[in-house]
């Protein structure tokens, strides 16, 4: 799952891969990576464990037989599937992390193949996994509902935020804006063109803002796809090392998504000193707590009013930023890794497969 722009699931896999060897020196770790290898701009996220290039492309017709073949060849005592690509034909001990139930809850926004894959591969193999992990209480309930299994089969282990995400200095923020030809003040937006990301709603008030929205979506033309035509800068993919600067140099982050299994951008923005306005929906409410401004995802008037208030009210801006810093400090990748390691230990000593 680590390819192209780093989404939350890719970051999750990389953060675990770089921390687990030091935490558990009694275990040997290796990783299955895409056939083309990992991106070469991962910086500190580059794993130091042995990497095995896998030909089992996600959703490809040969994925499952190749995955079974590769695991049979490697003979691991335990395999951790860090995303939805579960090995249906490999009978060994499996820990699986399912981040959300998007493909089932929002089946109309995905291809039929993805929905079939979830029902034919993910569900059956998850029921036979040695241990299951998810990233929020919301996702636990959703996965139990849509996979028709007890939600308490899933252990909730929250994602974290790396210490690299911290407020930049004034000079660092200025240099970042100048390097990317951004104005002194801007509103950050991250996402993609999928309808549940709800970026089109922002287009209802973006033209009336005194500063532009800067959309980071990994490729050009996303703004046009979702109808963000005015007062929007469509920023290309940034190097991983610059993500804290993108958030920290912004006046605020707008996250109007209607469905999130976790919402890592909110956490990373808060850790970078960027106030967050988030949809009061799904796992976002769970992640940001009372440290962000939470609004109904469809109330464009409220989004406009609160964005303007953050732009003009310095005291409110400082207050929300500080709440965000305090909130983000509760979520660390070290804690996530330790809990995951404990799950491995239990799975390694388990003698039988669990029931539903």
Per the model's pLDDT, the better-predicted residue between 315 and 355 turns out to be 315
pLDDT at site 58:
80
Let me know: does 17 contact 31? Beta carbons within 8 Å. yes
**Lowest mean per-residue pLDDT among 17-31, 57-71, 226-240, 327-341:** 226-240
pLDDT at site 1:
61
pLDDT at site 332:
96
Which of 332, 351, 125, 306 is CA-nearest to residue 202?
306
* 123 pLDDT higher than 60: yes
Give the burial string for 231-257 (b: 16+ CB within 10 Å, else e).
bbbbbeebebeebbbbbbbbbbbbbbb
What average pLDDT does the chain have? 91
- Residue 38 confidence class, pLDDT cut points 50, 70, 90: confident
pLDDT at site 15:
94
Rounded average pLDDT over 17-37: 92
pLDDT at site 234:
87
Instruction: State pLDDT tens for residues 85-106.
Output: 999 999 999 999 999 999 889 9
Rounded average pLDDT over 300-305: 97
In this structure, what token pair is assigned to residue 209?
Answer: 């803002």
pLDDT at site 39:
83
Give CA–CA dist 121/246, Å, rounded: 38
Q: DSSP class of residue 89?
A: T
Backbone angles phi, psi at 159, to 5 degrees: -65, 170
pLDDT > 70: percent of the chain: 95
Instruction: State pLDDT tens for residues 204-241.
Output: 999 999 999 999 876 655 676 777 778 999 887 788 88
Let me know: does 276 contact 270? Beta carbons within 8 Å. yes
pLDDT at site 354:
58
Q: Which residues contact 135 (CB under 8 A, 6 or more apart)?
A: 12, 97, 99, 100, 156, 157, 158, 159, 261, 262, 283
pLDDT at site 143:
96
- Residue 154 confidence class, pLDDT cut points 50, 70, 90: very high
Give the predicted TM-score (pTM) of the model.
0.91
Rounded average pLDDT over 307-332: 97
* 276 pLDDT higher than 80: yes
Instruction: State pLDDT tens for residues 59-72.
Output: 888 999 999 999 99
Q: Which residues contact 349 (CB under 8 A, 6 or more apart)?
A: none
**Lowest mean per-residue pLDDT among 79-83, 329-333, 349-353:** 349-353
- CATH homologous superfamily for 8-160+333-349? Glycogen Phosphorylase B; (3.40.50.2000)
In CATH, which of 3.40.50.10860, 3.40.50.970, 3.40.50.2000, 3.40.640.10 is domain 170-328?
3.40.50.2000
Q: Where in the chain is the domain with CATH 3.40.50.2000?
A: 8-160+333-349, 170-328
Rounded average pLDDT over 191-196: 86
> In Å, how far are 120, 150, 160, 261, 263 from 136, measured between CA atoms?
24, 15, 12, 7, 10
């Amino acid at each position: 799952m680590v390819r192209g722009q780093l989404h939350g699931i890719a970051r999750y896999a990389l953060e675990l891969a770089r921390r687990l060897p030091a935490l558990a020196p009694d275990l040997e770790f290796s990783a299955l990576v895409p056939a083309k290898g990992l991106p070469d701009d991962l910086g500190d996220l580059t794993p130091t464990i042995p990497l095995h290039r896998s030909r089992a492309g996600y959703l490809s017709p040969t994925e499952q037989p190749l995955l079974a073949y590769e695991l049979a060849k490697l003979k691991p005592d335990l395999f951790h599937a860090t995303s939805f690509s579960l090995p249906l034909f490999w009978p060994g001990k499996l820990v699986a992390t399912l981040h959300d139930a998007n493909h089932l809850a929002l089946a109309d926004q995905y291809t039929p193949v993805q929905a079939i894959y979830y029902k034919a591969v993910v569900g059956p193999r998850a029921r036979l996994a040695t241990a299951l992990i998810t990233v929020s209480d919301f996702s636990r309930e959703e996965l139990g509902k849509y996979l028709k299994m007890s939600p308490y089969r899933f252990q909730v282990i929250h994602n974290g935020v790396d210490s690299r995400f911290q407020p930049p200095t004034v000079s660092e923020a200025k240099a970042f804006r100048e390097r990317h030809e951004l104005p002194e003040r801007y509103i950050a937006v991250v996402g993609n063109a999928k309808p549940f990301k709800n970026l089109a709603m922002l287009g209802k008030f973006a033209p009336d803002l005194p500063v532009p929205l800067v959309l980071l979506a990994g490729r050009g033309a996303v703004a046009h796809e979702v109808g963000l035509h005015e007062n929007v800068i469509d920023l290309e993919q940034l190097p991983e090392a610059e993500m804290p600067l993108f958030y920290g140099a912004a006046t605020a982050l707008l996250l109007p998504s209607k469905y999130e299994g976790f919402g890592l951008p909110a956490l990373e923005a808060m850790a970078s000193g960027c106030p967050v306005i988030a949809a009061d929906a799904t796992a976002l409410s769970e992640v940001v707590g009372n440290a962000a401004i939470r609004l109904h995802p469809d109330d464009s008037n409220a989004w406009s009013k609160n964005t303007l208030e953050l732009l003009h009210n310095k005291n409110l801006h400082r207050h929300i930023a500080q709440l965000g810093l305090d909130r983000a400090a509760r979520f660390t990748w070290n804690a996530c890794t330790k809990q995951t390691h404990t799950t491995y230990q239990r799975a390694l000593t388990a003698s039988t497969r669990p029931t539903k």
